Amino acid sequence: MKKKALFYCRVNRDDCANAGVIKKCRGQVKGLRQLGWEVDMVWLCNEGALLNEELVYQFKKSMKPHSLSMYFFYYFRWHRVLKRMLALGSYEFCYARYELSHPGLLSFFKKIKKEKPATRLVLEIPTYPYAKEMKGGLRKIQLLLDWLYRGRLKKYVTLVVGFGAENEIFGMEALSIANGIDLDGIPVSNAKPEPGVIRLIAVGYWHYWHGLDRLVEGLAAYYKEDAEKEFIVKLTIIGEGLETHALKDLVLKYALNELVIFKLPLLGEGLIQMFEYADIGVGSLGLHRIGLTSASPLKNREYCARGLPFILSTHDWDFPQDLLWVKYFPPKDYPVPIEELISFYKDLNQRRKEHEVRDFAEKNFSWRRRLSIVVEKLGVNPGFSKGG
C-alpha cells in the first residue's frame, strides 16, 4: 500500500496571475506520484476549496481573487476547513508552499503534528528574501504578521526547501534545489527563421522586477540610430500584471507600437502557436531590484523545454554562462544592448545543434528528479529512485 503525502498550496486556480504557479504545483504533485506516493493536493478556486481537482467545500457565493472576502477566508476560515476536511493523521509527510506566517497557518501545522507527531513537514519558500517584492498597505500588514509569527515555524517544520544558496532560513535547515518542470504537454517549438527579423517572446505575469522596461529601453536606443539595420527586432509580450500599464506607456513614449506587441494571457494551443513565431525567449532582467543574486525562474525552464534560446540577467545555477544558447546581461538597470543580442542570435544560428536545448531540459528538469532530492533527505520515500 502506498504511503500518503499532503501537498498544500494556498493558490487560487482561477486567478490568471497564478498560471505559472499552478503548472508548477501540478508538476510537483505528478513528480511525487512518480516517486511512489499517494498524494492529496489541497488548493482553491473562486467557488471554494479543492481536494485534488474536486470541489469539496463551496463558498456561499463565488469570490474574486484578491477580494477582501477572499483574504478574510484565507486568514480566518481556510485552515479551519482543512482541519475538518482532511484526515491529517494519515500523511507521512506534508509539502507546503509558503504563504507567509499568521496564526491560522501555525494552528494548521500544529494540528498536523498533533495528529501524527512523526509527520515530516516540508516548507517550500519559492522566493527568499521576499519582502522587497511585496508592495502596498495590505502587503505590509501581511509582512508584519509574518515577522511576528515566522519564528514559531521551527516548532513544526522538518525542512525548508528553497531555490537560492541559503543553508538556513528563519532558524531552520534549508535544502536548496532548483525549479523543475513537467515536460509532458510542452512541445518543442518548430519556429522557422524569418530572414532579417529577430522575434523575441516574453511570457509571464509582469512585475517591475522582471525588467522588461530594460528591453524596451534597449529597443528604443537601437531604433533611434539612423544607420541601416541588419535585423528588425520585434518583441511580443504575453500576459498581464501590475507592470503592464507602465510598459505600454513606455512603448507609446518611444513609438514602438508596431515592434512591441502585447497579448492577453494564453494557455494551451494558443500559447503553442505563439512559440511557432519566436526565436528567443525573454527571462527575468530585473531580479536584482528585489535583492536576488541567484534565482530559479520557471520561465527559463519553460523556454528550455520548448527548445528556445533565451536571455536573462540574474544567475540561474541550472544554466551556466558558457551554454551557447543562454545569454546573460549584467544585473544592472541600464538598457539591454540590442547589438549584443543580435550577435548572440547570429552565433546561435551558426553553432547550435538541433534539439540541443530540449535535450538539456529532458536530462535535467523533471520534477521527479528534483523532488527525489527532498524525499531522500527526509528518508521517507517508499519508492525512491534517482532516475527520471
Burial 299-338 (b: 16+ CB within 10 A, else e): bbbbbbbbbbbbbbbbbbebbeeeeebbbbbebeeebbeb
Residue 381's pLDDT band (boundaries 50, 70, 90)? low
Q: What is the pTM of this model?
A: 0.86
Burial of 231 from C-beta contacts in 10 A (0-12 / 13-18 / 19+): middle
Burial of 227 from C-beta contacts in 10 A (0-12 / 13-18 / 19+): exposed
Domains of the chain: 4-181+366-378 (3.40.50.2000), 197-364 (3.40.50.2000)
Q: Would the CA dihedral through 282, 362, 19, 191 be positive or negative?
A: positive
Instruction: Tell me the per-residue pLDDT of 234-281, one tens digit each, with 9 for 90 and over.
Output: 999 999 999 999 999 999 999 999 999 999 999 889 999 999 999 999
CA distance 298 to 165: 17
DSSP SS3 for 295: coil
For the cut 70, the answer to whether the pLDDT of residue 328 exceeds it is yes
Is the distance from CB of 11 to CB of 43 less than 8 angstroms?
yes
CA distance 268 to 276: 13
> For residue 68, which phi and psi values (nearest 5 degrees)?
-60, -35
CA distance 262 to 140: 31
The pLDDT assigned to 138 comes to: 86
Is the distance from CB of 231 to CB of 342 less than 8 angstroms?
yes
Helix (H) or strand (E) holding 123: strand 120-124
The pLDDT assigned to 258 comes to: 96
CA distance 122 to 157: 6
For the cut 60, the answer to whether the pLDDT of residue 387 exceeds it is no
CA distance 128 to 134: 12
When the pLDDT of each residue in the chain is averaged and rounded to a whole number, the result is: 93
- Using DSSP bridges, classify how beta strands 120-124 and 38-45 pair: parallel, antiparallel or unpaired: unpaired
